[in-house]
Amino acid sequence: MDPATYAWLVLLFPLVGSMVIALGWRALPGKTAGWIGTFAIAAAFLSSLGMLAMLLDEPSDSRQIVDSLYEYASAFGLEIQLAVLVDPLSVFMCLVVTGVSMLIHLYSVAYLDSDRGYARFFSYLNFFVFSMLVLILAGNFIFLIVGWAFVGFASYALISFWYRRGTATKAGMKAFVINVLGDVGLYLAAFLVFRELGTFDFLTSFEAAREEFTTNQGVVVAICLLLLVGAFAKSAQVPLHTWLPDAMEGPTPVSALIHAATMVTAGVYLIARMFPFFELAPTAADIAAFIGLATLVIAATIALVVTDLKRIIAYSTMSQIGYMVMGVSIGAYGAGLFHLMTHAFFKALLFMAAGSVIAAMANIQNIDRMGGFRRAMPLTSGLLIIGCLALAGFPGTSGFFSKDEILVYAAERGGMYWIFAVGGYIAAFLTAFYSFRIGFRVVAGKPVEEARELEQGHLAHGEPVNPATGEPEDTDVGFPGPEHHIAERAKPMAIAMSILGVLAIVGGWIQIPGVDHVLETFFEPTFEESHLYHLVPSTGTAWLGLLVGGVIALAGIGLAYLCYVARPGITLRWKERFGGLHRFLERKWYFDEIQDALVYRPAIAIGRFANSVFERFIVDGIVNGAVGIVRASSATVRGAQSGFLRAYALLLVGGFAALGIYFLVVSQ
């Protein structure tokens, strides 16, 4: 079979899984729905492996295969094929998405066990994977937009999955609205590409762009900026990031899958995929890189003070995606995508471990309430620490190699790009600190009541309350369910987390400077035409970067150890001394308030104005005026309609008589 056939299979399995679960949920007993979903994704993962094997069989210069299922639309020279593009980039993304999704499905089989929306959850989750794969495999802008919008919907459905929670439904709406804003950017970019180049096809438009556009021509910069709007909304970059922390209202596996490992990296994928445009518009690429850096730093600082466990990880996700966006924008495509992969491993792992801890705390998410889980939950604690090490970039772990590769590339490009390297290393220090803020607060310290209970073998079961607001929860359908599941007691969760734990450590070993460069070689066919891709830092520089990164990571971890283990009171004193700064960070740099003042309030004010003035006086005026005119003009005619039969008869006879007389007079 050729790679394209496998690509269609990759798309088919999750779609079929979603359909089967959605239509047959009544007939599926127990955990069947979960297993169907998991095996559908496993089949997709195997097909992705098949796609990879077939692609590697092709000679290196023909590893970009376009295959069309049928012609979607054809008119006036416009031909839209329902086409997939199979090349190293899409195959790589397919492997990451299906691989991580498979493990998260496996985790969810146990984690969501007591939820009454069990089948609904897996149907949504399979649909999400299908959408994401459509987005990745799309061979033209139209198909890409379809996947892009599907993914937005799937995200909305899963954030609002516990629809009895008011906060969850609101968070879903917020995510959807911001995502749609990004969709509009993507649509406009696609229209511009079509207007200028006359095609929606990726490869054709890339070819045409190189011939038609000159560097930094206005149109191509506009295309890139519009693409960036789409990418930033999906990837939660400043200032379109506020939906991501709120999206933590969804179930924890959803946070792991959609809002850490896969969907939010769609923006990174988009920038990498559209690299011919971005290389023609260096201005737009630099803007993207600066926004990536800003997000990286802003999110890292917020993650220092947030107390909600899942939200810390969410801000860390934003921050790590900032690295990726920065990487692919400055031309470090291989490094950016490498970090995408390692991040998918350790961030999914962190979320899974967090889910297990939150379950042990009976849905309490505040890290100030946690502590001392190392004896009660050895497996979860160990894996959480592995996740934190990888996130912090501890030497040897996956995050260590991938993060530094981006920063070394930035330094290698020199000039202005030094800013990115320096900023990246500063944020790396913050990252190391906040990741071990999580690690030490949860694992180390005196065991809290829940941890002591668990050591005795009792899993805490509190009254169900909303972790965000503390309100008692409606326990009907659409609520997390009364049972809690921890990795120590649920095998599927333990297996999924252990595999990711191994990957979080060894995932970076495929790309060690001077040792091997698997990804670098693999991506070669996709980025062949790029003039930035072939800029590779020397092994010496790369190792110097790794050394700096390692020292910074160790320093961050050391500071965290000092603050949270050696002298636990120290952070409280800092909080008092830098009260203003703390409040500023705790309010998340006031982004929500700024958006509220700049967008929400004006929109509401315009709405009020439209309702009270425009609607009442102008629209109602026109409608009521038309009614009044008809009524007034009909009043005179209505008088004739008296209802007196004899009056009608008189009119009839009189009329005929008048006509007769008239004709008599005329004929004379």
Contact set with other proteins (CB under 8 A): 637-646, 649-650, 653
Q: What is 233-251 written as a DSSP string? A: HHHT-TTS-THHHHGGGS-
User: Which is nearer to other proteins, 600 or 648 (by Cβ)?
Assistant: 648
Judged by DSSP in three states, 68 sits in: strand
Distance CA 46, CA 27 (A): 27
Neighbours of 356 (CB within 10 A): 30
Which uninterrupted H or E stretch holds 75?
Answer: strand 65-75
Q: Measured between alpha carbons, how far is residue 616 from residues 608, 613, 622, 629 in Å?
A: 11, 5, 10, 18
Residue placing its CB nearer to other proteins in the complex, 73 or 629: 629
**Least CB distance to other proteins at residue 164 (A):** 57
If you count them, how many residues does the chain have? 668
Residue 482, token pair as written in the block: 């009364």
Max CA-CA distance within the chain? 126
Please say which residue, 1 or 653, places its beta carbon nearer to other proteins. 653
Min dist. Cβ of residue 626 to other proteins (A): 20
Nearer to other proteins, 75 or 635 (CB): 635
What are 460's two structure tokens?
């805490």
CA 626 vs. chain centroid, Å, equals 50
**Whole-number minimum distance, CB 645 to other proteins, in Å?**
4
The C-alpha R_g of the chain, in whole angstroms, comes to 30
* 3-state DSSP assignment of residue 1: coil
Shortest Å, Cβ 659 to other proteins: 15
Nearest residue (CB) to other proteins, 599 versus 629: 629
Q: Considering beta carbons, is residue 456 or 636 the nearer one to other proteins?
A: 636
Contact 13, 40 (CB under 8 A): yes
Question: In the complex with other proteins, which residue's Cβ is closer, 29 or 643?
Answer: 643
Closest approach, Cβ 634 to other proteins, in A, equals 9
Q: How far is the CB of 173 from other proteins (least distance, A)?
A: 52
Q: 3-state DSSP call for residue 486?
A: coil
Least distance (Å) from other proteins to the CB of residue 628? 18
Region of residue 295 (phi > 0: left; psi between -120 and 50: alpha; otherwise: beta): alpha
Q: In whole angstroms, how close is the CB of 625 to other proteins at the nearest point?
A: 23
Q: Which is nearer to other proteins, 583 or 638 (CB)?
A: 638
CA distance 199 to 206: 10
CB of 631 to other proteins, least distance (A): 13
Of 636 and 667, which has the nearer Cβ to other proteins?
Answer: 636
Q: Which 8-state DSSP code applies to residue 308?
A: B
Burial of 134 (0-12, 13-18, 19+ CB in 10 A): buried
Give me the residues paired with residue 71 across strands: 81
Residue whose CB is less far from other proteins, 214 or 641:
641
Rounded CA separation 52/94 (Å)? 10
Q: Tell the smallest beta-carbon distance from residue 654 to other proteins (Å).
A: 9
